[in-house]
Structure 1
C-alpha cells in the first residue's frame, strides 16, 4: 500500500530550510488541537480512576460510558439511541480507517466518495480497501457544499461527508443533510457524517445527520451513521474517546469485527470520558473563547464568522509562497490548503490558493498572530 505523506510532513518539508524571524514569538496555527488546559474535573476523574488499570476493558465499552454518550446525543440532538445504536470507540481516527475495511471487505470493486478537501484518513481508508474514489469537491462556487451527482452516487458503497467541515468551515442545514439521507436510501449506500466539530458552533447549534434521518422519516437510521469525538469538545484529544452511532444492523456486525481489532479504551479513560460527555458547562466555556477568536479574526482580517469549527479557510493567492513568507518574516505557521485536497476530475485541486488557520489559542495570542498575518497579506 502506498500512502501519501501527512499534510504536516509536507509542511515540514516546505519550511525545512527557512530560518524564522526570531524577533517574533513562534505561533503555530496548523493543527486542530485545542491549546487550552483540559478542564480540572476531567483531570481529577482520571487521577481518581487509575486503580482500574488492573482490569481489561470491554470492547463494547462500559455501561457508564455508553450511557453518558447516549445522554449527550439526547441533550444535544434530541435523539434517543438504544444501546445497539452506539459503539464507544478509541477516538474517531481508528473508526474512519477500519470501518471502511469492515464494510467493504466483501465488495469486489468498492467505491468510496468523500468530501474534498478532506481529513486524510478518508484517503487512507480508500487505499486500504482498494476503493475507487469519487471526490465531492468543495469550492467557493458551490459555497463549499458537495454538489449531488446521482449518476456517480448510485455506484457508491460508502459516502463520507464531514459537516461542520474541516477545513472549509461550511455547515449543512437539517434539510440539506436530509437530502443526503434520502439519497443513501434511494441508492442503498452507507452514509457516514464525521461530526467531530459539531460542538464548536459560533451561534446556533448545528444539526446532526441522525436528526436529519428522523426529519425525513428514517426512524431506524437505515444506512445512516455518525461519528463524534471528545477531543475538540472537551480540549481532551489525549482521552481518545469517540463513538459511532446509527444503523443498529450495521453496528451489530461491526461490533463483532471490533473484538478482533483490539482497540478498547483503558478503563480509567472510559471513566474519565463518561464524566466529560456528561457535562456541558465546560464545553460552553470553550465555545465562548472560540467565538471571541472569530470576532477578532473578523475585525483584523475582515472574514465572515462561520457557523462552526475553529478554523479559517483563508484565500491568500499563492498559498505555498505565502506560507513560506509568513514563517520566514513573521514566525507564524499555517497549513497550505492544497495539502488537504487532491485534484478533481478537471485536474484542479480545490485547496489551491487557501491556507487553513486553526484558532485554537487564547484570544490574546490569536490577536497577535492574526495581526502578523494581516501585515504579511498587505505586503
Structure 2
C-alpha cells in the first residue's frame, strides 16, 4: 500500500531549510489539538480508577461508558438509542480506518466517496480497501457543501461526510442532512457522518445525522451511522474515547469484527471518559474560549465567525509561498490547504490557495499570532 505522507510531514519538508525569525516566540497553529488543560474532574476520575489497569477491558465497553454516551446523544440531539445502536471506540481514527475494511470486504470493486478536503484517514481507508474514490469537492463555488450527483452516488458503497467540516468550517442544516439520508436509502449506500466537531459551535447547536434520519422518518437508522469523540469537546484527545452509532444491523456484525482487532479502551480511560461524556459545563467553557478567538480573528483579519469548529479557512493566493514567508518572517506555522485535499478527476484541488489556521490557543496567544498573520498578509498586497 502506498500511503501519502500526512499533511504535517509535508509541512515539515516545506519548511525544513527555513530559519524562522527569532525575534518572535514560535506559534504553531497547524494541529487541531486543544492547547488547554484537560478538566480537573476528568483527570481525577482517571487517577481514581488507575487500579483497574490490572483488568482486561471488554471490546463492547463498560456499561457506564455506553450509558454516558447514550445520555450525551439523548440530551444533545434528542435521539434515544439502545445498546445495539452504539459501540464505544478507541477514539474515532481507528474506526474510520477499520470500519471500511469490515464493510467493503466482500465487495469486488468497492467505491467510497468522501468530502474533499478531508481528514487523511479517509484516504487511507480507501487505499486499504482498494476502493475507487469519488471526491465530493468543497469549494467557495458551492459554499463548501458537497454537490449531489446521483449518477455518481449510485455507484457508491460508502459515503463519508464530515459536518461540521474540518477544515472549511461549513455546516449542513437538518434538512440538508435529511436529503443525504434519503439518498443513502434510495441508492442503498452506507452513509457515515464524522461529527467530531459537533460540540464546538459558536451560537446555535449543529444537527446530527441521527437527528436527520428521524426527521425523514428513518427511525431504524437504516444505512446511517455517525462517529463522535471527546478529543475536541473535552480537551482530552489522549483519552481516545469515541463511538460509532446508528444502524444496529450493521453494528451487530461490526462488533464481531472488532473483537479481533484489539482496540478496547483501558478501563481507567473508560471511567474517566464516562465522566466527560456526562458533563456539559466544561464544554460550554471551552466553546466560550473558541468563540472569543473567532471574535479576535474577526477584529484583526476581518474573517466571518463560522458556525462551528475552531478553524479559519482563508484564501491567501499562493498558500505554499505564504506559509513559507509567514514562518520565515513571523515564526508562525499554518497548514497549506492543498495538503488536506487532492486533485479530482478534473485536476482541481479545492484546497489550493487556502490555509488552515487552528485557533486552539489562549485568546492572548491567538491575538499575538493573528497580528503577525495580518502583517504577513499586508506585505503581499
**TM-score, normalised with respect to structure 2:** 0.99
| Matched residue, 1:53 | 53
| Matched residue, 1:351 | 351
| Matched residue, 2:271 | 271
Other structure's SS at 1:357 match? strand
Distance 1:220 1:373 in 2: 48
- How do 1:205-354 residues align onto structure 2 when only pairs under 5 Å count? 205-354=205-354
Other structure's SS at 1:112 match? strand
| Matched residue, 2:96 | 96
Asked if 1:370 corresponds to 2:366, the answer is no
Deviation for aligned residue 1:36: 0.3
| Matched residue, 1:361 | 361
Cα distance per residue 1:89-148 (max 9 Å; x no partner): 000000000000000000000000000000000000000000000000000000000000
Deviation for aligned residue 1:156: 0.2
Other structure's SS at 2:232 match? helix
Deviation for aligned residue 1:346: 1.3
Deviation for aligned residue 1:345: 1.8
Structure 2, unmatched stretches of 5+, are none
RMSD: 0.3
| Matched residue, 2:114 | 114
| Matched residue, 2:172 | 172
Distance 1:55 1:229 in 2: 24
Cα distance per residue 1:266-318 (max 9 Å; x no partner): 00000000000000000000000000000000110001111000000011000
Distance 1:215 1:372 in 2: 45
| Matched residue, 2:7 | 7
Distance 1:348 1:100 in 2: 26
Asked if 1:81 corresponds to 2:118, the answer is no
Deviation for aligned residue 1:12: 0.1
Other structure's SS at 1:231 match? coil
Deviation for aligned residue 1:348: 1.2
Distance 1:316 1:229 in 2: 31
Distance 2:356 2:229 in 1: 21
Distance 1:223 1:105 in 2: 17
Cα distance per residue 1:327-352 (max 9 Å; x no partner): 00000000000000000121011000
Flag as ranges the 4+ runs of structure 1 deviating above 4 A: none
Asked if 1:147 corresponds to 2:142, the answer is no
**TM-score, normalised with respect to structure 1:** 1.00
